[in-house]
Amino acid sequence: MVVHFRKGKLLKGYTHDFTPAKDVFHLTSEQAEDRGKIHEVHIDDLKAVFFVKTLEGNKDYVETKRFEEGTGTAQGLKIKLEFFDGEIMSGTSLGYNPNRKGFFVIPVDPQSNNDRIYVVRSALRDIRLGKDAGT
């Protein structure tokens, strides 16, 4: 997983205790500078948690960001997110609930390095759903 904090910090590693119902989880670092160190991560400090295929990703790949460009079949509620840092993300969500602290999003592009993303709702400036999320 790759953990994005609101203030821009990133952590890469793995966890055995992440759940949306808890306010804290632990990440074991896979980064060269602190490999093996266990970080206590507070959900309220985060922008999002990216569950990735590889920690390295593919820097040359240009990810599809719009629904009409996607080659996969979208299942769930279409959703377009704008974070306070200006990043815009589109995908689908099977479990969006405006009353929860966060929710999972599946990226539009099936070739994305992100399998799914847990988005922390309070890190969002804007949320558009269904037809308002785009085509």
- Domain boundaries along the sequence of the chain: 2-133
* pTM of this structure: 0.90
Per-residue model confidence as pLDDT tens digits over 80-94 = 999 999 999 999 999
Per-residue model confidence as pLDDT tens digits over 8-30 = 999 999 999 999 999 999 999 99
> For residue 91, which of 101, 76, 102 has the smallest C-alpha distance?
76
* CA dist., res. 108 & res. 41, Å (int): 27
The helix/strand/coil state of 109 is: coil
